[in-house]
Chains A and B, each alone.
Chain A
């Protein structure tokens, strides 16, 4: 096996990526290509591919830049202090971060071929990730959102990475023949919630439509996504309109835009991404000026679920926030971890404190404190 480094996902291609297992949407050719083609600021990406006998055995993207919001989960004081540092001293005083993984990922797993040895893959890949991160001038390296069941986490710890919790991911299995069957399998409260929201949606005149080729709609719906991003509790990846336009053109995986309207006015939108193995409600946009933005959100989530079940996709990924409605939909929380390695002593020294702070994002603790505001 050997590792090669590439500047574009086109070097690997959809046919080589498709058979890899782990996180079939977050690390898909189409999503990564859309990210690559919509990078902004000094953010850049490399792809580290493990090749075995001429075939792709595994790969991971490595994003490097100063504009990755690496401290989004840390205390507000740390975030505002870091922003003040940059404002007063300039970007040169800040940190350049390398993130191995998909910035959108919520079910991280190094995509590996089913016939490849995951231990050998991680063993050869990990030093290369670190070498490329250092060569790109990163001050620290983050392996982002690694699923708690990923079998090779021991190798990360052995290599000197510090494990912390990330926001839990929410997903659910959907072995249902119809949407009605899915609803029947919800709790009593869940069924009541669905009926109530369906009735209210009709009363309030909300309607939804689906658009596969939605590039032309980007100017209309991007403000909704943007509004949700700016209002969100956690500001992670900041996506430009180009990302949505590129996603509209993706065929591997497929993409679709759900648009919710009231009296001809667009009040919400959701981007749906899927292939035969997984379905993701990937980005949510809501017009918060609309008096019933909560209803709009719920309607879109239910319609997204309906779409997934109609397509016969066995697994639905719901993202990493807004846990109350997502658990009501039947979503199950799963622990995700960040693995951090500082190339500066000051950073490395801060990791134990970060590790303590980030324990609040362990799924059982998040469940206890459910009730965060909708994103």
Chain B
């Protein structure tokens, strides 16, 4: 039985689903939710504490060293697994890695407690602009980055791997995460959803990207189930897992655009995929999609496929994902993105 602390300071979409999945797992005895998001989305959604769930809101240092240190001491000794959902999402324009503070605190926590392990929700897009294979064993390949978010995730991983406690850290790198593969359900509509919405509403007629590149999409239930399955196993410490569709389950950008635009309709809105070099000129009129890297998920597949966990092909679940979002008017409960 594990006692898991889920620290959410960003990525509410994945974190909200993760919270539900953790509560449902019999192997998880106790879930501590530390919600550091500005809107307190996960804490609100949890609808109050229960015997299995304890909720804390605020910043980690406040608990560790501040006025609420007494509260921290009460549960710190019970934790054996920490899952940290950091900034991510690309919403923040801050150049400074916002995860550095909490991650350093968690690394210090790990150094004090030899039995505790940390899972970090990163992103496969730490690959940046790398062209070619990007494996779970890669991090610094000399790549450049499309935006500050990719660079921040990359820096966070570097920080973790350079740490003395890095051998007890597991990094999870999902690609573009969308709703549940069966129901389409999503607790938030950030990430790829604005692109989906714009394509559905016909407002996006220019898309900057490589038409022949492929879009790696992954359903949230695969991400959270894989993440929990792996987190509960001691041998994953020190490793990195790509929670991605991979080449064969990804979609060419052109096909993705056509599929999303035409799903459930007779006609397709005209969308032009323009070369990446024109991305800057579009100035918000288009979205840059896809990556030149091909994500290899050897470690994840070797660990997860024997347990019946594999990522379905994007074509099989994009329909329900679109229908669910349209049914909710592209607005999550509480407006959380």
A241-B296, A241-B298 given; A92·B137 CB < 8 A: no
| Chain A residues within an 8 Å CB radius of B239 | 219
Contact A226 B296 (CB under 8 A): no
Instruction: Kindly report which residue of chain A lies nearest to residue B293, judged by CB atoms.
Output: A41
| Chain B residues within an 8 Å CB radius of A42 | 247
- Cα-based distance from A40 to B292 in the complex (angstroms): 13
- Cα-based distance from A42 to B298 in the complex (angstroms): 17
Partner of B210, one of A91, A218, A226: A91
Instruction: Kindly report which residue of chain B lies nearest to residue A39, judged by CB atoms.
Output: B247
Contact A41 B275 (CB under 8 A): no
- Cα-based distance from A91 to B292 in the complex (angstroms): 8
B103 at interface, CB cutoff 8 A: no
A67-B294, A83-B131, A242-B298 given; A90·B137 CB < 8 A: no
Interface residues of B in 285-300 (CB under 8 A from A): 292, 294, 296, 298-299
| Chain A residues within an 8 Å CB radius of B275 | 88-90, 93
B69 at interface, CB cutoff 8 A: no
CB distance from B297 to the nearest CB of A (A): 10
| Chain A residues within an 8 Å CB radius of B292 | 86-87, 91
B202 at interface, CB cutoff 8 A: no
- Cα-based distance from A66 to B252 in the complex (angstroms): 14
A155 at interface, CB cutoff 8 A: no
Instruction: Kindly report which residue of chain B lies nearest to residue A229, judged by CB atoms.
Output: B133
| Chain B residues within an 8 Å CB radius of A238 | 132-133
| Chain B residues within an 8 Å CB radius of A230 | 141
- Cα-based distance from A219 to B129 in the complex (angstroms): 25
Contact A90 B212 (CB under 8 A): yes
CB distance from B275 to the nearest CB of A (A): 5
| Chain B residues within an 8 Å CB radius of A276 | none
CB distance from B253 to the nearest CB of A (A): 9
- Cα-based distance from A222 to B298 in the complex (angstroms): 11
A291-305: contact bitstring with B at CB < 8 Å (1 yes, 0 no)? 000000000000000
A187 at interface, CB cutoff 8 A: no
Contact B137 A223 (CB under 8 A): yes
B204-230: contact bitstring with A at CB < 8 Å (1 yes, 0 no)? 000001111100000000000000000
Instruction: Kindly report which residue of chain A lies nearest to residue B254, judged by CB atoms.
Output: A92
A73-97: contact bitstring with B at CB < 8 Å (1 yes, 0 no)? 0000000000100111111110000
A229-245: contact bitstring with B at CB < 8 Å (1 yes, 0 no)? 01000000010111001
B74 at interface, CB cutoff 8 A: no
| Chain A residues within an 8 Å CB radius of B298 | 218, 222, 240-242, 245
Contact A90 B296 (CB under 8 A): no
Instruction: Kindly report which residue of chain B lies nearest to residue A89, judged by CB atoms.
Output: B275
- Cα-based distance from A40 to B131 in the complex (angstroms): 13
A226-B138, A238-B133 given; A219·B299 CB < 8 A: yes
A88-B275, A240-B133 given; A40·B296 CB < 8 A: yes
- Cα-based distance from A66 to B247 in the complex (angstroms): 14
- Cα-based distance from A83 to B144 in the complex (angstroms): 13
Contact B276 A90 (CB under 8 A): yes
A238-B133, A240-B135 given; A89·B277 CB < 8 A: yes
| Chain A residues within an 8 Å CB radius of B131 | 83, 86-87
Instruction: Please give the number of chain A residues whose Cβ is less than 8 angstroms from any Cβ of chain B in the complex.
Output: 25
A67-B294, A89-B277, A241-B298 given; A40·B133 CB < 8 A: yes
Instruction: Kindly report which residue of chain A lies nearest to residue B246, judged by CB atoms.
Output: A40
- Cα-based distance from A347 to B213 in the complex (angstroms): 23
| Chain A residues within an 8 Å CB radius of B211 | 90, 92
A241-B296, A241-B298 given; A90·B135 CB < 8 A: no
- Cα-based distance from A219 to B136 in the complex (angstroms): 10
- Cα-based distance from A375 to B212 in the complex (angstroms): 33
CB distance from A125 to the nearest CB of B (A): 30
The residue in B277, B292, B298 that gathers the most chain A C-beta atoms within 10 A of its C-beta is B298
CB distance from A294 to the nearest CB of B (A): 23
| Chain B residues within an 8 Å CB radius of A92 | 210-212
A89-B276, A90-B210, A91-B210 given; A40·B294 CB < 8 A: yes
| Chain B residues within an 8 Å CB radius of A90 | 209-213, 275-276
Contact B294 A226 (CB under 8 A): no
CB distance from A263 to the nearest CB of B (A): 16
A87-B292, A90-B210, A240-B296 given; A226·B247 CB < 8 A: no
- Cα-based distance from A89 to B213 in the complex (angstroms): 11
CB distance from B157 to the nearest CB of A (A): 15
A83-B131, A86-B131, A219-B299 given; A91·B294 CB < 8 A: no
| Chain B residues within an 8 Å CB radius of A240 | 133, 135, 296, 298
Instruction: Kindly report which residue of chain A lies nearest to residue B141, judged by CB atoms.
Output: A230
Instruction: Kindly report which residue of chain B lies nearest to residue A239, judged by CB atoms.
Output: B133
Instruction: Kindly report which residue of chain A lies nearest to residue B142, judged by CB atoms.
Output: A230
Partner of A222, one of B137, B209, B294: B137
Interface residues of B in 253-288 (CB under 8 A from A): 275-277
- Cα-based distance from A241 to B298 in the complex (angstroms): 7
Instruction: Kindly report which residue of chain A lies nearest to residue B209, judged by CB atoms.
Output: A90
- Cα-based distance from A213 to B289 in the complex (angstroms): 41
- Cα-based distance from A219 to B132 in the complex (angstroms): 20
CB distance from A79 to the nearest CB of B (A): 11
CB distance from B288 to the nearest CB of A (A): 12
- Cα-based distance from A226 to B210 in the complex (angstroms): 27
B287-320: contact bitstring with A at CB < 8 Å (1 yes, 0 no)? 0000010101011000000000000000000000
- Cα-based distance from A83 to B277 in the complex (angstroms): 13
22 sample A-B contacts, Cβ–Cβ < 8 Å, listed by A number: A41-B133, A41-B294, A66-B212, A67-B132, A83-B131, A86-B292, A87-B277, A88-B277, A89-B275, A89-B276, A90-B211, A90-B213, A90-B275, A91-B212, A92-B210, A218-B298, A219-B239, A219-B299, A226-B135, A230-B141, A240-B135, A241-B298
What 8 A-B pairs are tightest by C-beta distance, nearest first?
A: A90-B210, A88-B277, A241-B298, A91-B212, A223-B137, A89-B275, A41-B294, A92-B212
**Interfacial residues, chain A to chain B (CB-CB below 8 A):** 40-42, 66-67, 83, 86-93, 218-219, 222-223, 226, 230, 238, 240-242, 245
10 new A-B pairs (CB below 8 Å) besides A40-B296, A90-B275?
Answer: A66-B212, A67-B294, A87-B277, A88-B277, A90-B209, A90-B211, A90-B276, A91-B213, A241-B296, A241-B298
